[in-house]
Amino acid sequence: MPDSAAYSADNLLHINGLTIKPGEQVLTRLVISRLPSGTVIDIPVHVFRATEPGPTVLLMAGMHGDEVNGIETIRRLIRRDLLEPLRGTIIAIPILNIYGFLNFSREVPDGKDVNRSFPGNPRGSLASRVAHRFMREIMPLIDYGIDFHTGGAVRANTPQIRCLLHQDAQTDALAEAFGAPFTLHASLRPGSLRETAMQDNRRIIVYETGESMRLDEEGIDLGIAGTLRVLHHLGMAPAAPLPAKPTIVCLRSTWLRAKYAGIFRSHVQLGQHVEEGQVYGSVADPYGERSVRLESPVTGYIIGLNHMPVVNQGDALVHVARLDAAPSRADAVVPFDEKPAKRTEQESLEEDQAEDHPLEDDSRGEEIW
């Protein structure tokens, strides 16, 4: 990859009809559409350019409108004047999905997920149009990126980087430089920003922390520090604070599900190490007649936790990241998509057929009377 995709032969950057010179800082707005009321919906884009050529880095949050931790992370970086690069260009987009942000929702109004809609279509659904505008205006300019996310509703994530590990040296280097408490190997999802970027020879890592509609102060601070370390790694920022501990690299992860419906009580915390056979929680009926202990079928670290006390059979309870790469009995079940796309008619049919032949449950349970 060249030193920068953003610098043309005349050293000018062209975005949204503007020409931005080296050393300039510009706020521009990508117009997406209008609300039914006629109100224009646009996406604010901050561009920070150094006088010296270098790579172009994207910092983006709010792909899902209810994920506020990434939005706050980028807001603080801008507010504290931490995005003035020594070389190259930084493009900061605090909120991509303005629709979801206004409606406290991860999706756009038509119910579709922007992060399953790339590369988009100018005549497609609203989510597809947002993705297409990003691909037309932003993707051609960037070399690297950090996409900030948060756990889903009532599910919290411990601070972690997700990326495709050990398959691309540049991606591995970005993840190592960020230095999150956990680095998780995550396969590319069809229609996602990461997959589309990789196909276009651009590297994007995902930072996850906290849960939707809740500020996670520790995770935000770690996100700011990690971002500065990535910029320092690329020669775009001065020395950044070192991580408190080396990152724990996990090559596989497993969601443990509820074997019984009832009231879920967790016995573990985010970041905690659990051993195979260790009790990680319990599910009790609401009438005080019985309770079931839940034992982990795997050894690993708790990187995701369901905070919803009322659960149904099959609900995902805890996300365990594992150091081993070998599959276990827990991997025999249908994988849990923490942030699923809308199901197609074919997928719904396949799921209905699978329910006729259920797989083995992925968490042990011992009944207590």
Q: For residues 61 and 114, what is the distance between their CA atoms, to the nearest angstrom?
A: 12
Q: For residues 305 and 296, what is the distance between their CA atoms, to the nearest angstrom?
A: 13
More confident residue, 163 or 343: 163
pLDDT at 2 over 50: no
Distance of CA 215 to the CA centre of its chain: 15
Q: For residues 304 and 210, what is the distance between their CA atoms, to the nearest angstrom?
A: 9
Each residue's pLDDT tens digit, 84-95: 999 999 999 999
CB of 233 within 8 A of CB of 174?
yes
Identify the pLDDT of residue 9: 53
Each residue's pLDDT tens digit, 181-232: 999 999 999 999 999 999 999 999 999 999 999 999 999 999 999 999 999 9
Closest CA to 143 of 96, 201, 61: 201
Identify the pLDDT of residue 152: 85
Each residue's pLDDT tens digit, 280-319: 999 999 999 999 999 999 999 999 999 999 999 999 999 9
pLDDT classification of 158: cutoffs 50, 70, 90: very high
Each residue's pLDDT tens digit, 105-150: 999 998 999 999 999 999 999 999 999 999 999 999 999 999 999 9
Identify the pLDDT of residue 80: 97
Identify the pLDDT of residue 73: 98
Neighbour-count burial for 230-245, b at 16+ CB within 10 Å, e otherwise: bbbbbebbeebeebee
For 176, list phi and psi in degrees, rounded to 5.
Answer: -65, -40
Element (H, E) at 211: strand 203-211
- What DSSP designation does 16 have? T
pLDDT classification of 364: cutoffs 50, 70, 90: low
pLDDT classification of 325: cutoffs 50, 70, 90: low
